[in-house]
Homo-oligomer: A and B are copies of this chain.
Amino acid sequence: MKLPFKSVALIGKYKAPDIAEPLLCLAEFLSAQNLHVVVDSLTATYLGQHPYTVLPLDQVGKVVDVAIVLGGDGTLLNIARSLSSDKVPLIGVNQGRLGFLTDLTLENIQVSLLAMLNGDFIPEHRMLLTTRVMRDDVEVFHSLAFNEVVVHRGNISSVIEFEVRIDGEHLYHQRADGLIVSTPTGSTAYALSAGGAILHPSLDVIQLVPICPHTLSSRSLVVSGHAVLEILMKTPRNVRVRFDSHTHFDLLFNDKIIITRHPQSACILHPQDHSYYHTLREKMLWNQSL
């Protein structure tokens, strides 16, 4: 990380024109702090006239020291995947609804940002998963995931069958609606809906959470972040692998999905008063009762 930050990217939620006004306001504030402001080209389409540098997203990461993302956790996930190879740290700003990754709000942003841009922040490294789909020993698809890789039946009504291996060893055959391979970040997303444990985001672990397994004796499993996971499809068709609800690929019988930790992490910067557990209680009503 290059400190102090001298150039900053501003990236807004996709297809959200109402981001224009707060984003321009923020850009003006940052410029006034003598920061070089860069806007990605998609965001720029909503901004009208403005004096800031515009670059395509895949070049933004090469020129800025830090990126500020306005949107929800979903937007930050998408940007983090895109910028992961450039090691640019990210600051997430939500538009009203608290997120696990976007814990600044537009209201209080200027004071918090000033402190953070001066180096007063908590950096957090969050792992990504990298997945390759092999068909007859040839890679036919690959993708990154921040939250989870999901193997799921598509529109078919019956369960799918697959085998799971870890580091070359047989783990289990399963008949289920699917399987979630989740990072700690993803443990509060789809994996939580399917009954997985909550994993602190700092952990170097991967959780396997079955989706509606057709057995009474299934249970989530947490393994090392260094594990090599393989899923072998035993269902002829209509099975899909999804990445962060973002991209997907349709699978065939005997396709092999290989999932490992990505060598790069995403680096999220939080303000000093950030509390993961506070967000967990506020956002998920964790352990709340009357």
A173 CB, nearest partner CB in chain B, Å: 8
Whether A203 contacts B222 by the Cβ 8 Å rule is: yes
How close is A215's CB to chain B, nearest CB, in angstroms?
Answer: 4
Q: Does A65 touch B at the CB level, under 8 Å? A: no
Checking B176, B217, B242, B277 against A284 with a beta-carbon cut-off of 8 angstroms, the contacting residue is B217
Q: Which of A154, A248, A277, A283 has the most CB of B within 10 A?
A: A277
| A172–B288 alpha-carbon span in the complex (Å) | 9
Q: Report the nearest B residue to A175, measured CB to CB.
A: B289
* A221 contacts B by Cβ under 8 Å: yes
CB contacts (< 8 Å) of A282 on chain B: these are: 290
Report B-chain residues with C-beta under 8 Å of the C-beta of A169.
275, 277
Q: Does A170 contact B (CB under 8 A)?
A: yes
A219 — which chain B residues lie within 8 A by C-beta?
A: 192, 197-198, 216, 286
- In the complex, whether A122 has a CB less than 8 A from a CB of chain B is no
Q: Are A286 and B198 in contact (CB under 8 A)?
A: no
Query: Which residue of the partner chain B has the closest CB to A245?
Result: B157
A205 vs B224: C-alpha distance when bound (angstroms): 10
Q: Does A166 contact B (CB under 8 A)?
A: yes
- Cβ-based interface call for A230 (8 A): no
Interface string of A154-194 (1 = CB under 8 A from B): 11011100000010011111111100000000000010111
Copies in the complex: 4
Render A74-94 as a binary contact track against B, CB cut-off 8 A, 1 for contact: 000000000000000000000
Give A192-217 interface residues, CB cut-off 8 Å to B.
Answer: 192-200, 202-203, 205, 207, 211-217
Q: Cβ of A221: which chain B residues have Cβ within 8 Å of it?
A: 197-200
Tell me whether A176 and B200 are in contact (CB under 8 A).
no
Structural contact, B215 and A174, CB atoms closer than 8 A: no
Q: Tell me if A62 is interfacial: C-beta within 8 Å of chain B.
A: no
Complex CA gap A118/B79 in Å reads: 53
Per-residue 0/1 for A233-267: is the Cβ within 8 Å of any B Cβ (1 yes, 0 no)? Answer: 00000001010011010000000000000000000
With contacts A203-B224, A214-B193, A217-B216 known, is A171 near B290, CB below 8 A?
no
Q: Which residues of A contact B (CB under 8 A)?
A: 97-98, 154-155, 157-159, 166, 169-177, 190, 192-200, 202-203, 205, 207, 211-224, 240, 242, 245-246, 248, 275, 277, 281-290
Besides the known contacts A213-B287, A216-B286, 15 further A-B residue pairs in the complex with CB atoms under 8 A apart: A157-B242, A157-B246, A172-B277, A174-B287, A193-B212, A197-B207, A197-B220, A198-B221, A200-B222, A202-B224, A212-B212, A216-B219, A216-B289, A217-B288, A218-B287
Jot down 7 A-B pairs with beta carbons below 8 A, ordered by A.
A154-B155, A159-B193, A169-B277, A170-B277, A193-B213, A197-B207, A217-B284
